[in-house]
Amino acid sequence: MKRRSFLKHTAKRLILFMTPAWMQLTHGSQMNTQNTKTDTSKHLVTLFLCGDVMTGRGIDQVLPYPSKPNIYEPYLRDARKYVELAEKINGPIKKPISFPYIWGDALTEFERVSPDLRIINLETSVTSSNDYWKGKGINYRMHPLNIPCITAANIDGCTLANNHVLDWGYAGLKETLATLKQAHIKTAGAGSNVKEAQAPALFEIPGKGRVILFSFGDKGSGVPHNWKASENRPGVNLLDDLSMKTIRQIANQVNAVKGKNDIVVASIHWGGNWGYHIPSEHRHFVHGLIDEANVDVVHGHSSHHPKGIEIYRNKPIIYGCGDFLNDYEGIRGHEQYRGDLGLMYFVTLKALTGELVRFQLVPTQIKKFHVNHATRTDAKWLAEMLNREGQALNTQVKLNDDKIMNVQYIRGRRD
């Protein structure tokens, strides 16, 4: 895995730590405060997770090597129109943008936190293929020569079991996988056959252990059924359903690779684009993954806005990360959900046990096709939303003076 030499941030911050579940039950304690020096301990692993990263279509058009602008949507036939829509709302974008540009203020946060692993859901095909998937309506692609925009943030892994990776056909999927591999970015969730699509990505964290990343797609997010990989057909790791049978199948896959001290992340593309409701089926499924399959982190995405967060048996569950980067700035509708706002999720775990130690969120906003720190007002809006939605999930967030949120488990609320 690539290592980094970012400068360490020197500012002192108050960090709130999650107490182990047994301490919550024995002492009734919700959180434990420790010195930030613990961050440098060899016994801790910090993951960066985020929602959909869509660098195709309009964003691809402002990068140094844009694809042909032809798209096959009901209302627009030219990807450059999405650039015009965004500029009409937020002002001109100087073209071509540099490769690091799209990450904006996220790069500052990477320097501050120095996560051991950076994982995104890459929701676009990376290809020059012109073989778009007929009848799908929306087809995202980024030119392979623009892949430095992903490596510019030292992304370690991409989950691909989503509803856009095959937008430009099997040739597009093949080129996407090859391009990411050549860029030394590991992938999970798609492959040339079902074995490859189901295979997890394995990450060695020097001196700490391994992180194992599984990627699953669910039909509720719009993944076409015929995108499911088979023995003789490329495709994605699409779940049949969210039943106990499926949980047991995943448990078998996890047990086949998980060692005693490995951390397992289950990344799931599921649910609709809008709305805060979390179906009981989703909760039962991820609880089953933790109980039966020994999953340590659930990384859910597909919703265009962040959803509620749960901590179950001291394991973090993100039901919907929200979009982290897209070209939707000029698109109207669903403004009440503030789809322009997002979150950087930093999850810190004990390397030997997978026990949650700290869970921090950094509020962001998409503007001019790059990631910006959210304003204090917008950060408060996000915190209030997460607290409202967290009431049924036994969680709350605390927003500090640096606009960083600490997620807390609240013992005693109704489940």
Burial class of residue 298 in the structure, from the number of CB atoms within 10 Å of its CB (0-12 exposed, 13-18 middle, 19+ buried): buried
- What's the rounded Cα separation, in Å, for the pair 227 and 109? 36
Mean pLDDT computed over every residue of the chain = 91
pLDDT at 6: 36
- Residue 297: beta bridge partners? 265
Q: What is the pLDDT of residues 222-249, one digit of tens each?
A: 999 999 999 999 999 999 999 999 999 9
Phi-psi region of 302 (alpha: psi -120 to 50; beta: other; left: phi over 0): left
The residue-averaged pLDDT of 201-213 equals: 97
Contact 385, 393 (CB under 8 A): no
**Confidence at residue 42, expressed as pLDDT on a 0 to 100 scale:** 75
CATH of domain 34-409: 3.60.21.10
Phi, psi of 66 (to 5 degrees): -70, 145
3-state secondary structure 228-267: ECCCCCCEECECCCCCHHHHHHHHHHHHHHCCCCCEEEEE
Task: Specify whether the backbone of 340 is left (phi greater than 0), alpha (psi in -120 to 50) or beta.
Answer: alpha
Q: Where are the domains of the chain?
A: 34-409
Residue count (the chain): 415
When pLDDT is cut at 50, 70 and 90, the band that residue 23 belongs to is: very low
Q: Rounded distance, CA 323 to CA 258, Å?
A: 30
Residue type for position 77: R
pLDDT at 349 over 90: yes
pLDDT value of position 218: 98
Q: Rounded to an integer, what distance in angstroms lies between the CA atom of residue 280 and that of residue 288? A: 12
**At what angle are helices 244-257 and 280-293 packed, to 10 degrees?**
30
pLDDT for residue 16: 34
Please report the pLDDT score of residue 412 as a whole number. Answer: 61
Taking the C-alpha atoms of residue 8 and residue 11, their distance in angstroms, rounded to an integer, is: 9
pTM (two decimals) = 0.90
Show the tokens assigned to 114: 């120095």
What average pLDDT does the segment 30-59 reach? Answer: 75
